[in-house]
Amino acid sequence: MGISAITGDVFKNHDCLGHKECHDRLVSILSRLPENLKIHAPVPATFEALQRVHVPGYLTWLEKQCVKNARYCMLDEYVFSGGYWEQNQIQMGYIDPNTYVNPCSYEVATYAAGSAVFAVERALSGETCFALVRPPGHHAEADRAMGFCLLNNAAVAAAAALTSVDRVAIIDWDAHHGNGTQKIFYDTDRLLYCSIHEKESFPHTGLITETGSGSGEGFTVNAPIRQDSTIADYQFVFDEIFIPALQRYDPDLVIISAGQDVLTDDPIASMKLVPDDIGKLTQTVSDAGDYPLALMLEGGYGPSHPDAICSIFDALNGNVGRPMPQGMPGKVTVETVLQLKRVHRLA
């Protein structure tokens, strides 16, 4: 049934002038989408869908904080942006040191989560769908917002899918570990979570030894790699760890938490990928098996982010060749892969 995206104007209402996670990052993407791409209008998540993942009391608290402009308000009448002081047009406050809200933020976050649910519904119907939404979600825990994230879009979508399928896999290539996604599914064998991320970076989780608990033991696969890693490091981890783990698990659905802060020009991370590399990772996952595929936008704040999104769509449309080895992975990456093979019994 083809390729599609889901996005819309509602996401501009969660904004904070001068903040890295702002509406401009989505505007720059939308101006570069492929011609004739089917675009669906965003939809809000139901409270039922949200509370499969999030504590109801947290949802109530978050909505109230947004409406009253945050309990811990750091509102400034003027903000510094682009070298100038500008009058702040949107009331806003912070609910942690780096996560802002305004009176529209809760509604926008429900649209982000609901659109993620819609994306997996389309995927399960045979249409690969990319939820181009914000705010991002993979840091949000069941009862906590953090790291720019209010609701965990990928987790809400996966939980919705698990009402109709048996197994879901999430591949997370954002430069920062998705602590929220990991924690939400840490004790279940119905979701495989694979994360490759910058070692010793925010949020300082995602160790190799974090593998799940109870029935979820072995279904969390963390690959922390060094700063300045290149596509050679990423491709090595995918080829040697993630793809074998994915094929062994044989999921009914694959979700990609697509965070492009791994790009070399990203201002908040230190990886060394280029836009074409993101397409190669997409192609690697797509080639792994005939799995329904949905993608969720996570991080990505640099000027080449739109080019990386174009590369993803190129791969989804079959316009990216099979990835070829480029350079050699670093020593730390090789050691990480060897340790992961032992921990997760991957030959």
* 156 CB-near residues (< 8 Å, 6+ apart): 45, 49, 50, 52, 53, 54, 113, 116, 117, 137
305 catalytic? Reply is no
DSSP assignment letter at 207 = -
**What's the first-to-final CA gap in the chain, in angstroms?**
36
Q: Are strands 293-297 and 220-225 parallel, antiparallel or unpaired?
A: unpaired
Check 19, 139, 197, 305 and give the catalytic one: 139
d(CA 285, CA 196): 14
Q: How many residues does the chain have?
A: 347
d(CA 14, CA 306): 20
d(CA 131, CA 119): 6
Catalytic residue numbers?
139
